Amino acid sequence: MTRTIYSLIIALLAGLLAVSPAAAQSNTPLILLSHGSFWAWDETTNVLRPLTPDGSHFTPVLSPDGRRIAYTAYPDMVVTALEESGGIGGGPLPKDIWVLDIADGVNLPIVQQPADASFFVTGVPDKAMIRSRPAWSPDGTWLAWTEALYPEWNIQLTLYNFLTADVRTIVTGLPEQGGVPDVLDVMWADTGLVLHSATYEPRLATWQTSFLVYDAAGTLLREIPLAADTERFTVFYALVQVAGRDMVGVHYNTGDWEVIDLETGLIHPAPAPELYSASAPDTGLAVRIKGGGDTTNQVWLADAAGSALTEPINMGYANFDYIALSPDGGAAAYTPFNPDTRVFEQAVTIWRAGVVTTITLPDGLFLSGFTWGQPTWRITNLEAGQTPSGFSCPGALPPVLAVGGQGQVIPGGGPNNLRAAPSTSGTRLGEIPENGIFTVTGGPVCDGGLVWWQVDYAGQSGWTAESQGNIYYLQPVNGS
């Protein structure tokens, strides 16, 4: 690509980044995916229009401002190979990454295939880049994805900066994935870049699922393995807000949930999260999970007070690609799963203020998912007293607090110090008086025979000790 074209792309993207997020989100249409093409439905006009002309576009991911879609697309050589062969199996196919402006239709390539790429050409060795679904940085100025040059399969983590058009690989040699060769899924949390890895462990005769946390420079901050179990396995995972911080929520085939603290690596039992609108967290609708079995999950719409607005809606086996909330939090789109035919219905229901609208797809279209506002999950009711898996603190009492709950300094023992780090050597920031109530935001951490929790007290964040020896300094607040 010439310097002139790069300059044009940078100028266009800089203009997009300058748009007010609130203004852009208010105009965000519902984006439907069908046969590799994107369609946009405008709630004001009730019009469904095509955004892309052909069937080679996949994994649409909305930007934080709701104006752009980052997605993967087949390059021409793959489209040609599919047309000539009628279908190619055996794993993921080579893909490029593009960004589409929803309003004006400007479609820009972010990364494409190497200049000497080849795929399914007689007499020419294959050489092509396999790429994962992209992930936006929280401020919308970066994209991240993993990629591997086929057939070598050296998997690497790559970033793109919209302000400079700089593409940089920050990690190489990522673990080879078990089963059909593939790249790793990426999530961008407030802690850093989170990669989902699933490798096969012959010694255990089962899968080993791990989450790898990197900073933007490519430094591995933490590797968090889940317990290897031949009976229990992961069926869904997503970033989940807990007490104002990003954690990873994991849903298992057994129906239970856990959350992973990305800062400490500790794993907490948890209730099911709810889907909500990040732009209307206190006033918008919420999608609550009723329960999960071995074939379906059920959800229902709830208002800000938690009251149910609909009957339970079948969502299939841990599949949440067919339900979304509008950016303003006032409307929901969903397509129920039919447990008898084991497919999703081919129409989209829109619920707003009790009024139901149905979007009927044009003939020949098969719905395979949709997105509207940023899909955001949260947990607000982690129960105190749930000890995270794998935590122990020799010489200290078992933890009685939990992230997301409230705690209180036990009267009679004096105030508790609030420190900048979970250690008696951490800088003293202040203190929490007897009976002082705080919110637990992180932890626990064991240091020096003390159990430490990260807390928020009267707007001040810091670490405070729960117990030492056989003495508790803190206790959960009733009902938290």
The answer to whether residue 37 is domain-embedded is yes
Same domain, yes or no: 82 and 204: yes
Q: What is the DSSP string of 176-235?
A: PPSSS----EEEE-SS-EEEEEEEEETTTTEEEEEEEEE-TT--EEEEEEPPP-SS--EE
Same domain, yes or no: 449 and 302: no
Residue 116's domain comprises 3-329+366-379
**What's the pLDDT at 68?**
95
Same domain, yes or no: 433 and 322: no
Residues of the chain with pLDDT under 70: 1-26, 291-296, 317-318, 381-390, 478-480
The answer to whether residue 350 is domain-embedded is no
The answer to whether residue 462 is domain-embedded is yes
The answer to whether residue 133 is domain-embedded is yes
For residue range 225-268, list pLDDT tens digits in order: 988 777 888 889 999 998 788 999 999 888 888 889 898 888 87
The answer to whether residue 358 is domain-embedded is no
Q: What is the DSSP string of 445-459?
A: EEETTEEEEEEEETT
8 Å CB contact between 351 and 301: yes
**What's the pLDDT at 4?**
38
CATH of the domain at 422: 2.30.30.40
Same domain, yes or no: 313 and 436: no
Same domain, yes or no: 91 and 139: yes
Same domain, yes or no: 201 and 311: yes
How many folded domains does the chain comprise? Answer: 2
**What's the pLDDT at 349?**
94
Same domain, yes or no: 372 and 421: no
**What's the pLDDT at 2?**
37
Amino acid of residue 246: D
**What's the pLDDT at 388?**
65
The answer to whether residue 184 is domain-embedded is yes
Same domain, yes or no: 323 and 415: no
Same domain, yes or no: 374 and 420: no
**What's the pLDDT at 5?**
39
Same domain, yes or no: 241 and 188: yes
Same domain, yes or no: 311 and 428: no
Nearest by Cα to 73 from 51, 89, 93, 90: 93
The answer to whether residue 387 is domain-embedded is no
CATH of the domain at 244: 2.130.10
Same domain, yes or no: 314 and 447: no
H-state helical runs in 308-407: none
In the sheet with 347-352, reading across from the earlier edge strand, the strands are: 323-325, 331-334, 347-352, 355-360
**What's the pLDDT at 6?**
40
